[in-house]
Structure 1
Amino acid sequence: MMAAFNRAMLCVAAFLCVAFVTPAQDLSAETTALAEIIKTGNIEQKRDALFTLRNIGSAEASRAALPALNDKDPMVRATAAASVVFLSPTEAVSALSPLLNDRDPFVRREAALALGTVRHSSATDALLNSLRRDRDAEAKTAAVIALGEIGDAKAAAPLTNILKNNPSEEDEMLRRSAARSLGQIAFFSRTGRHYSITPQNFLPEKFKEQIESDAEKAAHLTVFQTALPILAKVLNDAREADDTRREAAFALGAIGDKASAAVLQKHLNSPDPYLAEICKEALLMIKTG
Structure 2
Amino acid sequence: MAEHITVEKMQQMLCNKELSMRERFRGMSTLRDIGGKEAIDSLLTCLDDPSALLKHEAVFCIGQIQDPYAIPYLINVLEDTSQEPIVRHEAAEALGAIGSKEVLNILEKYRFDPVIEIAETCQLALARINWLNTNKHIQVENPYKSVDPAPASDDDNVESLKSTLLDESLPLFDRYRAMFALRNKTSEESVLALAEGMKASSILLRHELAFILGQMRNKAGDALGRKADDTIVTVLTDALKNSTESSVVRHECATALGEMDKNDCMQVLKEYLHDEEAVVSESCQLSLDMYAQSLLSK
Query: TM bucket by the smaller chain?
Result: 0.3 to 0.5
Normalising by structure 1, what TM-score? 0.45
